[in-house]
Amino acid sequence: MKYQYENLRYEGRALRTRSGKLLLGPAGRRLFVDYLDRVPGFSGRIDFIHKVNLTEAFHMETVPEICFDGAESVWYPSHLHMAYETDLIRFQEEKFVTEDDMAVSCQTWENRGNENLTLCLAVNPEQCEAVYGEVKISEEDGSGYVAEEIEITTPVTPHGYRVFCLVRAAGITPGRPLILTPGERVSFTVCAAFGNAETERPEDVRKRLMCYFAGNKQLTGNIYLERQIEEYSHFYDTVPEFECSDAVLNKTWEYRWYILKNSWAEPNYENIHHGVMYEGRSHKMGKTPFRCEGWEFTRLIPLSTPLHIMDLRWKNDTAMVMEMIQSLLDSQEENGEDDLFRVLAVDEIGPAYSNFAAWAIYQFYLLHGETRPDGRLTDSLERYIEAHDRLYGAEEDGLQIERIHQRTGKEYQPSYWYFSGYPADYKNPDTYTWLKRVDRSVYHYLNIKGLAGLYRLRGEEAKANLLEEKAEKLCCEINKKMWDEETSFYYDLHYLTDEKALVKNIVGFYPLWAGMEGAGKEGIFTSLYRKDEFGQEAGLPSVSADCPAYAPAGGWMGQYIKGRDGCVWCGPSWPYTTGIILDMLGKQSKKRNHLLDRLFKDQLHLYALQHFRDQDIRRPCLVEHYNPETGEPLSDEIDYNHSFFIQLIMEHVLGIGVSEHEITIDPVDIGLTYFKGGPVSVRGHELIVEYRKNEYFRVEFDSRSVAEKEKLERVLIPL
């Protein structure tokens, strides 16, 4: 896939909840930006590894003082453009963060007034030590000149490390006034290189700066920007192409790959030794410098890791997924207590959330099975499953009991309060009932199936067979106890009595996603059409609209218990579950002679539109959750990475399904007149799928045509 930065151009991209605070597209391995002030340079809230709230790297001071509130800004994935023109000045800036953690600003100033204009590159970060100085650069290092630079050292951050930064410029001297006479024009580039003061010396950071400027002291900003765009684009070199006749899907495809790239981090410190995929770069946290309170998404959060794997596995380069798997296993070894995968920051081990990690890893190896899964992986997953049997499994049936409603990642699902009549006093422990949860039980089933598959790929058939038997028993219990024939739905159960909590949570569709349904369950799909259940105009709600606790705008029984943008699962529409329900619909439609294709199409369209502010595809902006009736975003966590979408395009729009012995091509017909996808790497082979309505449906395998049809049909390719 070719990176074309103009495709995701967004004028004035800013936070909804902090007016005028600009967003920046690129992030480094450790350095990223929460927001930038609308001024030249890097001022705002800057973060390193985790949330730290550094207030600036550098800024420009001018005499006379200039207000930039009227400046225009254009956001791109790889950089941010700012421009401002008045009777006094003409200003332009391109700024970005490089992959190796440098904040770069390429500025051009022109004095259009009648008096001198004075510019000064300055640094004044709150609570930090900033030292102006000179460094002699040796001939061996390149130039033999004396570099004037600014050293910044932060206090110890809430995560236990200090951040070190060196600021240097080409074309302007830090701390020294630069005077522009009327009509005069100047261009310069400023670079701030960041490092971890606990593991890197100033010389290490300085070397990166020297390499960036070496031999290029007089380069224009355009050349630095071209270099940034080229380096940024390398991520996309191994991303398959996808193009179709639906402009919304095309734009969403590109945007979701941006989210994956932007969420990638390599902390390389303390608890986190391998690459991780964050839940995005935004936060539910305060902005006070070096006092970061609230919930942080820039950590390893195993709840969402399987969702990331399901999308990123379609990248033809496996390195990032392999790193993610290693970090997941590290989270188990770091906690050393219960063999669960836990939230991991460099300095702390957090809670364990339910997830389908083993199943997602198995899907990855099905697609990229050139090498067998190693013993460390299967041993870890075996311990993980055994821990769930021990800690969550009901003795009589193995169904998974949830005692803390937040730990399935779906807090405030109304079924926990069904048996007490949905009281307003939601905090009273006497009104809250532990449940045998559908989602946790289905995840456990999938993980058992996933580990069985990994053992088969290793040639350990006996272990695989035992796990398949175990999964089948759990499947029978879910169908026998959680399915209700009268209402055609799966329900959570009272943890002691097995009485059904008659609340139609969105997770009630999960058993069909896992493929564990039997005959006679077709009635469940009517719930997705009904306006008094899940058939809302702007997305799938997290609970049926006929539930007494249903609150499409959030809150609990009329109270905004977690604030206006607080995350609750008693009504709002969440991309997390929407992606899973769409995956279920795609799988079920293929099983049922494509009878659900139209429903899949309609819900996929609504889901794609959620990726854009006001459903305007010129404004990419995926957040945490939405009002399912109006489409209003209920949070401001921009580019939120808590769901999958690439999976839906690859497996259902293109129709690519990979099992242990064959590839199945079976697209869901969503009314496209044209689509093409590939090349997709499948165990060392290349696959391309292409369709043009009323002309052809074509499948190529290793540059050889293996199917040429007149319309969409099922195609099998042995492996």
Alpha-carbon gap, residue 516 to 473, rounded angstroms: 11
If one counts every other C-beta atom within 10 angstroms of the C-beta of residue 395, the result is: 6
Residue 419 domain flag: no
Residue 37 domain flag: yes
Task: Inform me whether the pLDDT recorded for 338 exceeds 50.
Answer: yes
- Average the pLDDT over 147-173 and give the result: 93
pLDDT at 426: 82
Contact indicator for 509, 584 with CB cutoff of 8 Å? yes
- Average the pLDDT over 15-30 and give the result: 94
CA distances from 175 to 120, 178, 218, 334, 466 (A): 6, 9, 19, 46, 70
Calculate ∠ Cα 130-131-137, nearest 5°. Answer: 130
Q: Is the dihedral of CA 606, 608, 610, 612 positive or negative?
A: negative
Portion of the chain with pLDDT greater than 70, in percent: 97
Q: By 3-state DSSP, what share of the chain in percent is helix, strand and coil, each rounded to 5?
A: 30, 25, 45
Residue 672 domain flag: yes
Alpha-carbon gap, residue 623 to 259, rounded angstroms: 11
- Count how many domains the chain has: 2
Contact indicator for 27, 97 with CB cutoff of 8 Å? yes
Task: Inform me whether the pLDDT recorded for 176 exceeds 60.
Answer: yes
pLDDT grade, residue 317 (50/70/90)?
Answer: very high
Contact indicator for 527, 534 with CB cutoff of 8 Å? yes
In this predicted structure, which of 244-253, 330-339, 706-715 has the lowest mean pLDDT?
A: 330-339
- Average the pLDDT over 535-559 and give the result: 95
CA distances from 176 to 167, 173, 202 (A): 14, 6, 23
Contact indicator for 484, 443 with CB cutoff of 8 Å? no
pLDDT grade, residue 487 (50/70/90)?
Answer: very high
pLDDT digits (tens, 9 = 90+) for 373-400: 999 999 999 999 999 999 999 999 999 9
Task: Inform me whether the pLDDT recorded for 687 exceeds 90.
Answer: yes
pLDDT at 394: 98
Last residue of a domain, one of 235, 264, 294: 235
Task: Inform me whether the pLDDT recorded for 562 exceeds 50.
Answer: yes
Last residue of a domain, one of 235, 252, 279: 235
Burial class (CB in 10 A: 0-12, 13-18, 19+), 420: middle
pLDDT at 141: 46
In this predicted structure, which of 222-236, 277-291, 526-540 has the lowest mean pLDDT?
A: 277-291
Cα Rg of the chain, angstroms: 27
Alpha-carbon gap, residue 625 to 634, rounded angstroms: 6
pLDDT at 22: 97
Portion of the chain with pLDDT greater than 90, in percent: 87
pLDDT at 360: 99
Task: Inform me whether the pLDDT recorded for 171 exceeds 70.
Answer: yes
Residue of 330, 334, 312 lying closest to 321 (CA atoms)? 312
Q: Locate 364 and state its tokens.
A: 């990855």
Residue 133 domain flag: yes
Average pLDDT, the chain: 94
Q: Locate 156 and state its tokens.
A: 């110890």
**Residue holding tokens 């986190």?**
272
Residue 365 domain flag: no
Residue 120 domain flag: yes
CA 629 from centre of chain: 24
Last residue of a domain, one of 194, 218, 235: 235
If one counts every other C-beta atom within 10 angstroms of the C-beta of residue 579, the result is: 22
More confident site: 149 or 284:
149
pLDDT at 284: 80
CATH code of residue 49: 2.70.98
pLDDT grade, residue 139 (50/70/90)?
Answer: very low
Q: Locate 206 and state its tokens.
A: 């300085």
Alpha-carbon gap, residue 103 to 116, rounded angstroms: 29
Residue 93 domain flag: yes
- Average the pLDDT over 546-558 and give the result: 94
pLDDT digits (tens, 9 = 90+) for 423-442: 988 888 888 999 999 999 99
Task: Inform me whether the pLDDT recorded for 218 exceeds 60.
Answer: no
**Residue holding tokens 């389908």?**
356
pLDDT digits (tens, 9 = 90+) for 180-213: 999 999 999 999 999 999 999 999 999 999 888 8
Task: Inform me whether the pLDDT recorded for 138 exceeds 70.
Answer: no
pLDDT digits (tens, 9 = 90+) for 66-111: 999 999 999 999 999 999 999 999 999 999 999 999 999 999 999 9
pLDDT grade, residue 215 (50/70/90)?
Answer: low
Alpha-carbon gap, residue 617 to 608, rounded angstroms: 9
Task: Inform me whether the pLDDT recorded for 581 exceeds 90.
Answer: yes
CA distances from 441 to 213, 328, 446, 511, 630 (A): 56, 21, 9, 9, 32
In this predicted structure, which of 141-150, 228-237, 448-457, 510-519 has the lowest mean pLDDT?
A: 141-150
Task: Inform me whether the pLDDT recorded for 519 exceeds 50.
Answer: yes
Residue 170 domain flag: yes
Range(s) of the domain holding residue 687: 664-718
